[in-house]
Structure 1
Amino acid sequence: MSQRLSFVEKAGYSCGDAAANFVFMSMVLFQLNFYTDVFGLSANTAAAILLWPRLWDAVFDPVMGVLADRTNTRWGKFRPWVLWTTVPWCVVMIAAYTTPDPSWGWSTGMVIAYAGITNTLLMTLYSMNNMPYSALGGVMTGDLNERTKLNSYRFVSVNVAQFIVGGFTLPLVAKFAQGHDRAHGWQVTMTIWAAVCLVLFIVTFFTTKERIKPIVEVQASPKQDFTDLLKNGPWIALVAYTVFNFGMLSMRGGAHFNYYHHYVDKAAMFDFVAALGLTTPDPAGTGSLADALGYIVHGTRDSLTSSNVADVFNSLINMAGFGTTIVVIMLSAGLSARFGKRLVAVGGFALSTLAACALYLLPPTAVWAMLALHMLGAVFYAPTIAVMWAMYADAADYSEWQTGRRFTGMVFATIGFSLKAGLALGSAGFLWVLAGFFGYDTQMPTAPHAIEG
């Protein structure tokens, strides 16, 4: 089956995951520290709030797969879910990053419950939207090469979104916190990101079309679908790969934030940012492009204690990594055709993990080496993203060949389960290691030593 997709459809489809990554990358990069440093939760409490909703979400993913596979509308099976979840997604996204004001008179238990409920709702809506969205890519075309191209478009857009989230979130938070506090900064920033999500989801819905129909109507029970999946060797391998991949991604996101804020030498970071021309002695700005972007270090080299230099440095490092990924990911189709998807996925992940681990062997003043390792890791990791998701669609094809039935939703839902399980174990595990073994507390001077381990 050969079904070529237009540029508009591939670009429109890619908008959906770009939108999802305004939530996803906020979770990976900032949510852990948002709960401890802004919301005021202890490390152990934050770990529990990150773990249990994501484990629930992981369990909910297969349920969502069953619902999506059995959805029949004039728009298809998967496409309507993108539209139906758009408004609730945006509302809950804002609520999850709204910190209860002390004037509300809430008890500690109520604040913890609020964090847990909003995070659980956000995770549930993420599944209800992104699982059908991912499955949609498997039924837009049956051409394997077109699928790889489609996923290349998808992950170029994803990395543009990650570039924006990683580079601009903290400066926007700092900007909107002026005259208020960081809690207000987070609420306004996430409101802006929610508005962006709204537009992108609508674009995806109106520019895509489902073309592949099941050979026969789904007759088997969900239990039979899952039993058949257990006989699918490629699917089993992808589940294990996804847990390791996203567990490492989540752990790395939380570790990097703490690494740059509590371990890396602030004077070295200031000199790095100054070398790029992104410092000014006037916090009000001078009207330069740097001022317009918000990358202005408050304070001077002699007043680094209260400076935002770590936020600025962290943002620049994120932008360098995601910018590198945007360029390299365009090579995914060529690399997978030359070396095979499996080798690109496994080899790229292994090399990127080594680069990430090497980062923690550097002294706290080696900021340029940190930048180099971060970009090197992005070079290795970038091609794995597109080929990984293309392999999920291939696994659905394999199941159809095995069973004579197509249950794309179940395949992507169970992969979603492993993704969420990896995220949960990575983020919660990192917090519990810091709190349990190194006594990490954001309010205590032991924090830097906990990061060093």
Structure 2
Amino acid sequence: MSTTPSDASRPSLIRWPERLGYGVGDTACCLFWAIVSSYLNLFYTDVFGLAPAALAWLLLITRIWDAAFDPVVGMIADRTSTRWGKFRPWILWSIVPFMVAEIALFTTPHLGPTGKLVYAYITYSVVMLIYSAINVPYGALLGVITDDSAERTTLASYRFIGAFVGNFIVQGILLYLVQALGRGNNRLGYTLAVTILACGSGLLLFYVFLSTNERIQPPQAENSVRRDLRDLLGNRPWLVLFAMGAISLVYLTLRQVASVYYVTYYMGDRGLIPAFLLAGTAFSILGAMLAPWMARRVGCKKRTFILLTLWAAACNAATALAGPRDLVLIFGTQMLGSMPLAAIFPLMGSMFADTADYGELKFGRRATGLIFAGSTFSQKTGGAIGAAIVNLVLSSVGYVANAKQSASVLGGLRHLMGTLPAAGGLLVAGLALFYEIDTKREREIGAAIAARVRSVAAGRPSDS
């Protein structure tokens, strides 16, 4: 949160073009991530030809390895120094490799089962490592664009609106592109469709690089990886938020991955997939837009987070009660449950930035990149566990690709969409009670750091 004295007197310098530029970064990321979260599992089992059990281990191993790489990216980014800043250059440098790796991921080679599995391990690992080199610095930008907590919540809201716009695009056109471009050959269709989306993602990431600015400079401090990690593990609010983020992504991923199977086999109509996903995304955009207003209305990000999580859990519990023909209940809970889920992630992004301020005050050092790398680590770990659970459940209940499913498979899909996400939401709401940074504490931290900055600027030792 350290700034120059002039910056300290003007905490919010952000105009709408920069807000938009930051927001479309997650549109770019989600032109890739929405395919991975909603369609990669189906692509691997029904098009590429992997068994669910093998896929469960692939996703678990590669995503946890990728998640462990995030803190490394964060520490490297914290130590990067260029005329463009610390974080923006990584976005620029990674664009072309990311586009190439994404296209390779959705290309099906003419190999046997073992060769395909090896190819999937390699391409998925590579694309996720490059994605980390983009997404970790992009997330960390939120902590250095501005030091104002309310502005950070607004920027985080723009980010997640951008994310759901990316989701909306993918969910609305991907399957149509696959069919139109593949002309019955889904392997070719996926490759060509992803090529188009990858090009759009690259252009948007370049715009992020051009339109954003890094204003907040960290205090001069000892350059020690061991000290960085020790400070991070001593940051109690960050540890609680880490657990909240991981479990939130477990239950969110359960629904994301299971949705296409649920609509195809439980509801019995694959043609409803775009409508089902788009309905949720439309309300997700609304939820992300309302996140700053809801936080102001409640008066505390922590309390807002808890209320929204309980709201989502109630909707997920209602989904568990829906029969295959209960379209009103299924679509209603999809829409009403997507709103609070979408709103909690802008709040969580702003809360992670607040934990960076907490760390700077407590330890006299700021590691914004590592803080946000830790946040993506928690989310990717949660996503890995969630995706593995889906595939292990599918394998255990006897899922067979492109066939009529048994009653046990249909029951498993209902629990993946309803019962398990509801239980996860209740657990996260309970954990949030232990997050100690409320509105009062935010203001105390901000005032203490501002006083320290003024003291250093005046040449006096800080007493905080």
1:10 paired to 2:4: no
Structure 1 equivalent of residue 279 of structure 2: 320
**CA distance in 2 between partners of 1:332 and 1:421 (Å):** 25
Q: CA distance change for structure 1 residues 447 and 78 in 2, over 3 Å: closer, same or farther?
A: farther
User: How far is 1:350 from its partner?
Assistant: 2.9
The question of 1:52 aligning with 2:12 is answered no
Which structure 1 segments of 5+ residues have no match? Answer: 267-309
Q: CA deviation at 1:382?
A: 2.4
Give the match for residue 23 of structure 1: 32
| Partner SS for 1:85 | helix
Distance 1:95 1:447, change over 3 A: farther
Tell me which amino acid in the other structure corresponds to 2:173: F
Deviations 1:33-69 (A, max 9, x none): 1110010010111112211110111110111111011
User: Are the counterparts in 2 of residues 239 and 418 from structure 1 also a CA contact under 8 Å?
Assistant: yes
1:35 maps to 2:38: no
Counterpart pick for 1:370 among 325, 330, 333: 330
Q: Cα distance, 1:72 vs. partner?
A: 0.5
What is the distance in 1 between the residues matched to 2:134 and 2:12? 25
- State the alpha-carbon separation in 2 of the partners of residues 256 and 6 from structure 1: 38
RMSD: 1.4
Cα distance per residue 1:400-435 (max 9 Å; x no partner): 011111100111111111111000000011111221
User: C-alpha separation between the residues in 1 aligned to 2:266 and 2:407?
Assistant: 5
Q: How many Å separate the matches in 1 of 2:371 and 2:378?
A: 11
Structure 1 segment 343-382 matched on structure 2, within 5 A: 343-382=303-342
In the alignment, is the contact (CA less than 8 A) between 1:85 and 1:129 conserved in 2?
Answer: yes
Alignment CA distance shift 1:153-1:190 (3 Å): same
Choose which of 194, 199, 206 in structure 2 pairs with 1:202.
Answer: 206
Give me the whole-angstrom Cα distance separating, in 2, the residues matched to 1:87 and 1:195: 9
Which amino acid is 1:211 matched to?
R
SS of aligned partner of 1:197: helix
Among 170, 176, 183, the alignment partner of 1:171 is: 176
Shift in alpha-carbon separation, 1:13–1:427, aligned structure 2, 3 A: same
Query: 1:63 corresponds to which letter in structure 2?
Result: V
What is the correspondence of 1:257-296 to structure 2 with a 5 Å cutoff?
Answer: 257-266=260-269
Matches within 5 A, 1:41-80: 41-80=50-89
Task: Tell me whether 1:149 sits opposite 2:154 in the alignment.
Answer: yes
Equivalent residue in structure 2 for 1:125, among 123, 130, 138: 130
Is 1:338 the equivalent of 2:347? Answer: no
User: How much has 1:244 moved relative to structure 2?
Assistant: 0.8
Give the TM-score of the pair, scaled to structure 2. 0.84
SS at 1:137 equivalent: helix
Compute the displacement of 1:360 (Å): 2.9
TM-score norm. by structure 1 comes to: 0.86
Pair 1:214 & 2:222 matched: no
Cα distance in 1 between the residues matched to 2:17 and 2:118: 43
Structure 1 vs Structure 2: percent identity of aligned residues? Answer: 37
Q: Which of 254, 258, 264 is matched with 1:255 structurally?
A: 258
Say if 1:313 and 1:5 are closer, same or farther in 2 by CA, change over 3 A: same
Aligned to 1:181: 185
Q: For 2:288 and 2:295, how far apart are their aligned partners in 1?
A: 11
Deviation at 1:368, TM superposition (A): 2.3
Q: For residues 451 and 122 of structure 1, do their structure 2 counterparts lie closer, same or farther at Cα, with a shift above 3 Å needed?
A: farther
- Output the CA distance in 2 between the equivalents of 1:195 and 1:391: 32
Q: Report if the CA contact (8 A) 2:77-2:87 is conserved.
A: yes
Measured after TM superposition, the shift of residue 265 of structure 1 is 3.8
Shift of 1:344: 1.9
Structure 2 distance, partners of 1:447, 1:175, is: 32
The one-letter code sitting in structure 1 at the alignment partner of 2:57 is A
The equivalent of 1:239 in structure 2 is 242
Verify: 1:226 aligned to 2:238, yes or no. Answer: no
**1:187 aligned partner, one-letter code:** T
Is the contact made by 1:12 and 1:203 (CA closer than 8 Å) also made in structure 2?
A: yes
- Please tell me whether the aligned partners of residues 21 and 162 of structure 1 are also in contact (alpha carbons under 8 angstroms): yes
Which one-letter code corresponds to 2:289 in the other structure?
A: M
Residues of 1 paired with 2:59 and 2:155: CA distance? 32
Q: Aligned equivalents of 2:59 and 2:161: distance in 1?
A: 28
Which letter does structure 1 place at the counterpart of 2:80? T
Equivalent residue of 2:29, what SS? helix
Distance of 1:223 and 1:14 partners within structure 2: 33
Q: Is the 8 A contact 2:265 2:404 kept in 1?
A: no
What does the per-residue CA deviation read over 1:335-375, in whole Å, with 9 as the maximum and x for residues that have no partner?
11222111222321232133123223211111122111111
Q: Which residue of 2 aligns with 1:440?
A: 399
Distance apart, 1:152 and its partner CA: 1.3
CA–CA separation in structure 2 for the residues paired with 1:255 and 1:181:
24
Residue 447 of structure 1: CA displacement? 5.3
1:407 to 367, 372, 394: 367
- The one-letter code of the counterpart of 2:385 is L
- Are residue 93 (structure 1) and residue 102 (structure 2) matched? yes
